[in-house]
Structure 1
Amino acid sequence: MHVVVVGAGEVGTSIAASLAPDHEVVIIDVDPDRAEQLKYEIDVLTVSGDGTTASIQAAANVGEADMVIACTDDDRTNLVVCGTAKTLGDPFTIARVKRTEYLRTWEGSKGAFGVDFMVCTDLLTAENIVRVIGLPAAVDVDPFASGLVQMAEFEIASESPVAGQTVREADRFESLTFVGVFRDGEMIIPHGDTGIEAGDRAVVIGSPESVQAFATDVAPDTTPGRADEIVIVGGSEIGYQTARLLEERDFEPRLIEQDGERARWLAENLPETMVMEHDATDTEFLAREHVDEADIVVSTLASDEGNLLVSVLAKRLGVDRVIAVVDSADYVTVFEEIGIDIAINPRTVTAEEITRFTFDSVAENIAVLENDRAEVLELQLTEGCKLVGRPISELVEEIDATFVIGAITRNHSLVTPRGDTVLQPGDHVILLVDSEFASDIAALA
């Protein structure tokens, strides 16, 4: 497949790196130095110039492209890129946008702007935040198989009852599978006698009920049935969408916004949310409003520096769980190292969604873990593929790849995989695989 990626920032680079091993990828970027650097870093063709122009797109052979992905930091630029591409050929076009207004217009008239698939960064980020809020002990949550299966990643604290147990001792749930343990940057494929240590990140796949039950085991003091007190700091588009989605789930969050005009707009459009007009870095105000009693504080200010300050203040006040939006991927580790529970990078979320869509021909769904150290894939098995008709134990022995099958859905029912489970055509298989082998495993389906 010939793919043209316009924009070589964090999102475009991540997408290109994921696609390059199996496809012919061309990157267009206005910065000639950046284009030249990527030519050698990820072994792709590059074109330097304005990706909205027909001449530059022609230089990237957009007329013969199968797919054009517009992922610069400017919404309008991305829409123009897609529109121009449609005048040169008939590629499938994907546009990244931040503003939900463009998404709503596109949803009302599919094909608007010359875009075949639109990814809204702010809405995706808000959805990611809400999923994590729904499972407070987790650092990452993704649904699979139309919601029948859930993947969750948990950080094991030193005080967790699970710390010091073996996988066999911790796994007391019929429809749950331990698929991976990340320790000191390395991935461990767990067995029954694998020990779980403080600081580990454990990845499980199973029914939502079993994942929720395991979350209670991991952190019994911080995993209530629901988070009753949620405070959102910052009325940005991400903050607004987070509050709106929480309202749809019958939560009644509080939202702090300093700008008076924006606060009034938020109050008018979020009927179940208490909007407070104030500076969220005012510690006296935070104490007066009992923010320290919140189950979760979500910081969605426009700057990483602001989110870092608010997050640190919230932790110092004694808030159990703090979620921060971090625009720069380089800062995510900084947030985590100083004790912020979850740092969500909108660019990573967007790159993952676009990559998932581009892999749709072989994978129904995809989640990326630990900075692309591993991937969770959902594969629908076809008649005659190399995975069907044989027990899982044989497949694990014969396939030269690091992977674990975490769940199977068959005829819309969940099947917990065991060594003697025989895969059948039509099965949806959810598995964790080392990113190095993701394409090889997907090709077997």
Structure 2
Amino acid sequence: MKVIIIGGGEAGFHVAASLSRKNDVIVIEKDPEACERVGELDVQVIQGNGADVKLMQQVGVKKADLVVALTGVDEVNIVACMGAKLLSRRVKTIARVSNPDYINEPVDHRKELGMDVMVCPELSLAREIAQVVSIPAALDVENFVDGKVKMVEFEVKEGHDIAGKKLKDAGLPAYCIVAGIFRGDRLLISYGDDVIQPGDRVVLVGELDALDLIQARFGELAGRKRKILIVGGGQVGLYLLEELTKADHEITLIEIDQERCMELAERYPDVLVINGDGANLKLLKEENLSEKDVVVAVTDRDEKNLLCALLAKQLGTRKAISRTDHADYTTLFEMVGVDVAINPILATVNEVMKFTMSIGVESLVNIEGTRASAIELIAKEGSEIVGKQLKDARFPRGALVSVIVRGEKVIVPSGMDVIEAGDRVVIFSYPDTVEKVEKLFE
């Protein structure tokens, strides 16, 4: 596949890195330093304006399969996609868009405007944070099959009732399965004889009621009112308020810009908005962080988010979540004491990667950076996986069929179960096994 990426910043770099392994990738970027960084990848780099129609013609947009516009300016991305469509009707286009005037879902479709897909990393980030806030014991939460299935990652603490037990003896509720275990820097695709150890981070997949029961076992009751502090009232903070105010939470927001504070206070009258510096120790002490369930730092500066989150932990908050705009920093943030570090770029990478895969891929999510993947596929009539008992299917090692959804029915399968045409199947896998899984569903 020939792919043209417009914008070689953080998002463009990571999308190019993911696509360059199996595709012919061209990156167009104006900034010389960004060009130099992207040039370290196995891609062609052209310095210039990606919204320039003449330049698009020169790089061969008429022969391209996909144009991905990922600059930090919405209008440039929109114009670039519209220009690409004018030059070639066959090319598919994806635009990164952040302004709520243009988009109100993490992923949207505006084909009439020349964009097959619009992606909003900031809204994706806010939705992900809101999910994690709703389950304070969780490290990650993802939805599949239109919300019928949820994936939740928990850490097993010393003394927890499942620590030291084999999975088959852990007493998990029906319609729920441990798909994987992160142990240190290792990932284990789970089987019944695996023993859960303190410190393991277990990934559970199942229907909603079953995971509510699991949540209670990890010490949190579903639906409880939370005390939440948000640091940063920018675009992500706005989207996060929009998500969190849908539930009955006690929310405080700290924002350094006075005019923005007034705007947010008027828009969200039930939120306590404070004008101040979220990294100010005196201010944080005044907010009694030991009484907060969650502190979320979502300013546009990584170093400030890290400092806020670490100060919150020092002052006794139960859970600290930090935004980081550098995908490589998520592990580092968590190593030094942040409970959950979330990067908005990864959602964009997942959406672009899904677009380059075969028809039938409904969702693709990377877990713990890129250490594992969860993929949702629709089983098609005539594909190799359909009509066989799972024990007889040539399913690759390093992948596990976690859940089958047939209509409204959620099935946690055994080797005797059969995948039928039209089933939606959620699979937990090593990233390098995804392509083999995909072929079974073609």
TM-score, L = length of structure 1: 0.91
Superposed counterparts of 1:35-184, under 5 Å:
41=41, 43-90=42-89, 91-103=91-103, 110-111=110-111, 114-184=114-184
Q: Does residue 6 of the first structure (1) align with residue 6 of the second (2)?
A: yes
Cα shift readout 1:233-260 (whole Å, capped 9, x = no counterpart): 1111111211111112333422122322
Partner of 1:381: 379
Q: Secondary structure at the match of 1:212?
A: helix
Cα shift readout 1:318-353 (whole Å, capped 9, x = no counterpart): 110111111122322221012111111111232223
Cα shift readout 1:142-183 (whole Å, capped 9, x = no counterpart): 111111111122233335433323222335211111111122
Question: Equivalents in 1 of 2:14, 2:69: separation in Å?
Answer: 13
The one-letter code of the counterpart of 1:441 is V
RMSD of aligned residue pairs (Cα, Å): 2.6
Partner of 2:420: 424
Q: Are residues 33 and 308 of structure 1, via their aligned partners in 2, closer, same or farther at CA, if it must alter by over 3 Å?
A: closer
Q: Are residues 40 and 143 of structure 1, via their aligned partners in 2, closer, same or farther at CA, if it must alter by over 3 Å?
A: same
Question: Equivalents in 1 of 2:243, 2:38: separation in Å?
Answer: 38
8 Å CA contact 2:330, 2:369 repeated in 1: no
Q: Does residue 356 of the first structure (1) align with residue 354 of the second (2)?
A: yes
The one-letter code of the counterpart of 1:260 is Q
Partner of 2:304: 306
Aligned residues: 440
Question: Equivalents in 2 of 1:201, 1:56: separation in Å?
Answer: 48
Q: Secondary structure at the match of 1:116?
A: strand
- Of residues 29-38 and 44-53 in structure 1, the stretch that sits farther from structure 2 once superposed is 29-38
The one-letter code of the counterpart of 1:137 is A
Choose which of 425, 437, 441 in structure 2 pairs with 1:441. 437
Shift of 1:44: 4.0
Question: Equivalents in 2 of 1:179, 1:75: separation in Å?
Answer: 38
Q: Secondary structure at the match of 1:253?
A: strand
Question: Equivalents in 2 of 1:387, 1:21: separation in Å?
Answer: 27
8 Å CA contact 2:106, 2:121 repeated in 1: no
Q: Are residues 401 and 413 of structure 1, via their aligned partners in 2, closer, same or farther at CA, if it must alter by over 3 Å?
A: same
Question: Equivalents in 2 of 1:359, 1:288: separation in Å?
Answer: 51
Superposed counterparts of 1:129-278, under 5 Å:
129-217=129-217, 219-220=218-219, 222=220, 225-278=223-276
Partner of 1:28: 28
Question: Equivalents in 1 of 2:130, 2:61: separation in Å?
Answer: 38
The one-letter code of the counterpart of 1:410 is R
Q: Are residues 227 and 6 of structure 1, via their aligned partners in 2, closer, same or farther at CA, if it must alter by over 3 Å?
A: same
Partner of 2:326: 328
Question: Equivalents in 1 of 2:172, 2:356: separation in Å?
Answer: 37
8 Å CA contact 1:137, 1:223 repeated in 2: no
Question: Equivalents in 2 of 1:20, 1:65: separation in Å?
Answer: 14
Shift of 1:297: 0.9
Q: Secondary structure at the match of 1:364?
A: strand
Question: Equivalents in 2 of 1:61, 1:400: separation in Å?
Answer: 38
8 Å CA contact 2:358, 2:438 repeated in 1: no
Q: Are residues 25 and 178 of structure 1, via their aligned partners in 2, closer, same or farther at CA, if it must alter by over 3 Å?
A: same
Q: Secondary structure at the match of 2:245?
A: helix
Task: Give the structure with the higher percent helix.
Answer: 1
Question: Equivalents in 1 of 2:322, 2:36: separation in Å?
Answer: 34
Q: Are residues 35 and 418 of structure 1, via their aligned partners in 2, closer, same or farther at CA, if it must alter by over 3 Å?
A: same
Q: Secondary structure at the match of 1:103?
A: coil
- Of residues 74-83 and 97-106 in structure 1, the stretch that sits farther from structure 2 once superposed is 97-106
Question: Equivalents in 2 of 1:119, 1:112: separation in Å?
Answer: 16
The one-letter code of the counterpart of 2:323 is V
Question: Equivalents in 2 of 1:226, 1:409: separation in Å?
Answer: 29
Question: Equivalents in 2 of 1:345, 1:105: separation in Å?
Answer: 18
Question: Equivalents in 2 of 1:198, 1:76: separation in Å?
Answer: 49
Q: Secondary structure at the match of 2:310?
A: helix
Q: Secondary structure at the match of 1:311?
A: helix
Shift of 1:197: 2.0
Q: Are residues 161 and 348 of structure 1, via their aligned partners in 2, closer, same or farther at CA, if it must alter by over 3 Å?
A: same
Choose which of 315, 318, 323 in structure 2 pairs with 1:317. 315
Q: Secondary structure at the match of 2:196?
A: coil
8 Å CA contact 1:32, 1:49 repeated in 2: no
Q: Secondary structure at the match of 1:8?
A: coil
The one-letter code of the counterpart of 1:243 is L
Question: Equivalents in 1 of 2:159, 2:313: separation in Å?
Answer: 17
Question: Equivalents in 1 of 2:113, 2:261: separation in Å?
Answer: 32
Q: Are residues 371 and 289 of structure 1, via their aligned partners in 2, closer, same or farther at CA, if it must alter by over 3 Å?
A: closer
Shift of 1:16: 3.2
Shift of 1:428: 0.6
Question: Equivalents in 1 of 2:339, 2:400: separation in Å?
Answer: 27
Shift of 1:93: 1.5
Identity of aligned residues (%): 34
Question: Equivalents in 2 of 1:227, 1:161: separation in Å?
Answer: 26
4+ aligned runs moved over 6 Å, structure 1 = 105-109
8 Å CA contact 2:405, 2:423 repeated in 1: yes
Question: Equivalents in 2 of 1:232, 1:320: separation in Å?
Answer: 14
Question: Equivalents in 2 of 1:175, 1:312: separation in Å?
Answer: 37
Cα shift readout 1:56-112 (whole Å, capped 9, x = no counterpart): 322331122222111123333322321321232122211112322232699999347
Cα shift readout 1:273-329 (whole Å, capped 9, x = no counterpart): 221223333334333332320111111122111111111111011110111111122
8 Å CA contact 2:381, 2:422 repeated in 1: yes
Question: Equivalents in 2 of 1:223, 1:356: separation in Å?
Answer: 34
Question: Equivalents in 2 of 1:236, 1:36: separation in Å?
Answer: 30
8 Å CA contact 1:8, 1:27 repeated in 2: yes
